[in-house]
């Protein structure tokens, strides 16, 4: 790749793509789903994944892909829509342990490269399709995507990297994404962990507009749900790596009732504690906030976020 890249990270997948490629569609969960990345002009990459425990999962999925690729064109009359037969090629000399992949190139209204990857360690089968304008196929770009491709963290108990829409952070591997919302000026991702833990990451922008008529502390207090009591005296303030960081570690009144009404808490608990951190990142012109809810304050404070808002980790 000659153009700048970033490491896309979503549901334990990580691989490098050109910077202009950002998600336009996301669905599914860790076991199965779909993601599409577009640039300013067209769809550039599709990612589909599912579970399979078969020893020949790669070959089965590859044959299925070829059948689906050719079928739409084979029964039409007149000139063939696909001018060239799909051709299997090799782009990766050695796959990581437990992983096997097969790649095919094809041409139609657009040119494409597709790789089917099966991993015996996480039992996921993944199909990656990359699309190019006619006559502009770049095998080098696809090779870089495949060489950096990972579908699970090396350490099952270690951190998992996430990166999309210029949000880059790490979260514990045992946290599962249960909901997300991405829109102009606002992004939110909600996680569920073991032992009743809940965790949220939120981002707002542009910060200079949001803070034009209010200070950071007043804005921060306004982000807690109506009915949850968090007072100014509960907030600590510090400067971390040049950013003003606000934090709350307490058991706010009304918090459990609010989360139960929202369907976030599935079983009755005696109480729910909160570890909340918010900061203003002038370099990125964004406001960030992480919340971890747990039955005890030490469990909430142990929530291991690492948010890379402008290079180094913040909000951890």
Counting the structural domains of the chain, the total is 2
Instruction: Verify that 127 and 179 share a domain, yes or no.
Output: no
Name 281's Cβ contacts closer than 8 Å, sequence gap at least 6: 207, 243, 287, 288, 309, 310, 314
Cα radius of gyration rounded to whole Å, the chain: 23
Report the 10 Å Cβ neighbour count for 90: 9
Q: Running along the chain, 316 residues long, what does each successive block of 10 average in pLDDT? A: 87 96 96 97 97 96 89 45 76 95 92 96 97 93 97 88 95 93 95 90 96 95 84 89 86 74 62 89 94 88 84 52
Instruction: Verify that 135 and 256 share a domain, yes or no.
Output: no
CATH number at residue 76: 3.40.1000
Report the 10 Å Cβ neighbour count for 195: 9
Instruction: Verify that 129 and 70 share a domain, yes or no.
Output: yes
Q: Identify the domain boundary among 112, 147, 182.
A: 147
- With respect to residue 249, please indicate whether it lies within any of the assigned structural domains: yes
241 phi-psi bin (left φ>0, alpha ψ -120 to 50, beta other): left
Instruction: Verify that 132 and 169 share a domain, yes or no.
Output: no
Q: pLDDT at position 226, please?
A: 79
Q: pLDDT at position 316, please?
A: 45
Q: Identify the domain boundary among 147, 177, 193.
A: 147
Q: pLDDT at position 125, please?
A: 98
- With respect to residue 69, please indicate whether it lies within any of the assigned structural domains: yes
- With respect to residue 153, please indicate whether it lies within any of the assigned structural domains: no
Q: pLDDT at position 6, please?
A: 95
Q: pLDDT at position 67, please?
A: 86
Residue 194's domain comprises: 159-314
Q: pLDDT at position 85, please?
A: 74
CA dihedral 161, 164, 167, 169 (to 10 degrees): 0
Instruction: Verify that 172 and 278 share a domain, yes or no.
Output: yes
311 phi-psi bin (left φ>0, alpha ψ -120 to 50, beta other): left
- With respect to residue 132, please indicate whether it lies within any of the assigned structural domains: yes
Nearest to 281 by CA among 240, 247, 248, 234: 240
Instruction: Verify that 128 and 209 share a domain, yes or no.
Output: no
pTM beyond 0.85: yes
The tokens describing 47, both together, are: 């990612």
Burial class (CB in 10 A: 0-12, 13-18, 19+), 176: middle
Q: pLDDT at position 74, please?
A: 45
Instruction: Verify that 253 and 114 share a domain, yes or no.
Output: no
CA dihedral 122, 125, 131, 136 (to 10 degrees): 80
- With respect to residue 93, please indicate whether it lies within any of the assigned structural domains: yes
Q: pLDDT at position 254, please?
A: 73
Q: CA 160 to CA 145: how far, in whole Å?
A: 18
Instruction: Verify that 168 and 290 share a domain, yes or no.
Output: yes
Instruction: Verify that 117 and 168 share a domain, yes or no.
Output: no
- With respect to residue 154, please indicate whether it lies within any of the assigned structural domains: no
Q: pLDDT at position 259, please?
A: 75
Instruction: Verify that 288 and 165 share a domain, yes or no.
Output: yes
Instruction: Verify that 199 and 107 share a domain, yes or no.
Output: no
Residue given tokens 């504690």 in the structure block:
273
């Amino acid at each position: 790749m000659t153009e700048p890249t970033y490491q896309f990270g979503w549901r334990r997948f990580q691989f490098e793509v050109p910077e202009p490629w950002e998600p336009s569609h996301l669905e599914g969960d860790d076991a199965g789903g779909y993601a599409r990345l577009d640039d300013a002009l067209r769809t550039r990459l599709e990612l589909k994944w599912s579970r399979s425990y078969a020893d020949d999962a790669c070959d089965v999925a590859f044959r299925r892909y070829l059948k689906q690729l050719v079928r739409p064109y084979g029964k039409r009359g007149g000139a063939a829509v696909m001018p060239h037969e799909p051709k299997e090629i090799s782009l990766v000399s050695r796959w990581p342990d437990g992983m096997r992949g097969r790649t095919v190139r094809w041409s139609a209204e657009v040119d494409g490269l597709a790789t089917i990857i099966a991993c015996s360690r996480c039992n996921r089968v993944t199909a990656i399709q990359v699309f190019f304008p006619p006559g502009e196929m770049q095998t080098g770009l696809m090779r870089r995507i495949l060489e950096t491709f990972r579908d699970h963290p090396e350490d099952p108990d270690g951190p998992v990297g996430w990166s999309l829409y210029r949000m880059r952070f790490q979260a514990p591997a045992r946290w599962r994404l249960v909901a997300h919302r991405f829109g102009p000026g606002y992004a939110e991702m909600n996680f569920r962990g073991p032992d009743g833990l809940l965790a949220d990451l939120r981002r707002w922008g542009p910060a200079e507009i949001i803070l034009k008529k209010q200070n950071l502390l007043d804005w921060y207090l306004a982000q807690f749900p109506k009915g949850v009591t968090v007072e100014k005296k509960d907030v600590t303030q510090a400067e971390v790596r040049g950013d003003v960081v606000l934090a709350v570690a307490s058991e706010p009144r009304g918090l459990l009732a609010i989360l139960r009404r929202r369907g976030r808490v599935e079983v009755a608990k005696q109480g729910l504690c909160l570890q909340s951190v918010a900061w203003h990142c002038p370099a990125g012109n964004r406001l960030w906030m992480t919340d971890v809810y747990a039955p005890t304050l030490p469990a909430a404070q142990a929530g291991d976020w690492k948010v890379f808002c402008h290079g180094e980790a913040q909000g951890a």
